[in-house]
Chain A
Amino acid sequence: SQTIHQWPATLVQPVGSPLSLECTVEGTSNPNLYWYRQAAGRGLQLLFYSVGIGQISSEVPQNLSASRPQDRQFILSSKKLLLSDSGFYLCAWSVQRTLDFGPGTRLTVT
């Protein structure tokens, strides 16, 4: 069966610090991978998606970036965090026409 891992589970970072969130997928090859953010009181916002190694599509212009160095690894990064980057970050892979989400990372920027 397929499994998504995300770490860390929670993170508290000061404004201006860098960020690296990692997502790995088991049990499948060449998955489409996604990063979503869910901010307090807001819906799920698609940030990036990737259809293969080195292939990244950005949905929202911001200070975040994503990379896919390996087939089953997806990384979300920032060089300098903003307060507005706080939220629940979810990695997902596509299953037919919809998504299966990982456990998420709760990020608080202070």
Chain B
Amino acid sequence: QKEVEQNSGPLSVPEGAIASLNCTYSDRGSQSFFWYRQYSGKSPELIMFIYSNGDKEDGRFTAQLNKASQYVSLLIRDSQPSDSATYLCAVNEGGGGADGLTFGKGTHLIIQP
């Protein structure tokens, strides 16, 4: 059974610091990796995706992928109180549709002003 593991938190980070969120996955055949942000009471929204080993940057967000170690991480630079949310990691084996997507349970991030 495919598993995606995340520390549930809460992870508390001071405003302006770097928040580091980690995710490990069990299926070595996984090809596509996604980070969603979910505010309390709202639906998840996609913020980053990464398909290749290494780093991918988008504004204050950087996704890092290491397929050999089977982990993917999300860095948030210059953290803002508005970044406080639950962050979901999702992994797809890649060849098929989104029915192959497996979600972690999420990490609750708190940015302290």
B43, A98: Cβ atoms closer than 8 Å: no
- Interface: B88 (CB within 8 A): yes
- Interface: A99 (CB within 8 A): yes
Q: Which of A13-21, A41-49, A61-69, A72-80 faces chain B? A: A41-49
Given contacts A32-B98, A43-B105, A46-B99, contact A98 B45 (CB under 8 A): no
Residues from 42 to 98 in A contacting B, C-beta threshold 8 Å: 42-44, 46, 49, 51, 57, 59, 88, 90, 92, 94-95, 97-98
Smallest CB separation, B16 vs chain A (Å): 30
A43, B45: Cβ atoms closer than 8 Å: no
- Complex Cα distance, B99 from A97, in Å, reads 9
Smallest CB separation, B95 vs chain A (Å): 9
Secondary structure at the B interface, as helix, strand, loop or mixed, is mixed
Contacts of B29 in A (CB 8 A): none
Smallest CB separation, B50 vs chain A (Å): 11
Which listed residue (A42, A51, A57, A100) contacts B105, Cβ 8 A?
A42
B88, A94: Cβ atoms closer than 8 Å: no
Which listed residue (B31, B94, B97) contacts A32, Cβ 8 A?
B97
- Interface: B46 (CB within 8 A): yes
Given contacts A42-B105, A43-B105, contact A101 B45 (CB under 8 A): yes
**What are 26 residue pairs bridging A and B, where the CB atoms are less than 8 Å apart in the complex?**
A32-B97, A32-B99, A34-B99, A43-B104, A44-B103, A49-B97, A51-B97, A57-B99, A88-B43, A94-B97, A94-B98, A95-B46, A95-B98, A97-B92, A97-B97, A97-B98, A97-B101, A98-B34, A98-B49, A98-B98, A98-B101, A99-B90, A100-B46, A101-B43, A101-B45, A102-B43
Interface of A with B (CB < 8 Å)? Answer: 32, 34, 42-44, 46, 49, 51, 57, 59, 88, 90, 92, 94-95, 97-104, 106
Which 5 A-B pairs have CB atoms at the shortest separation, nearest pair first? Answer: A94-B98, A43-B105, A101-B43, A44-B103, A97-B32
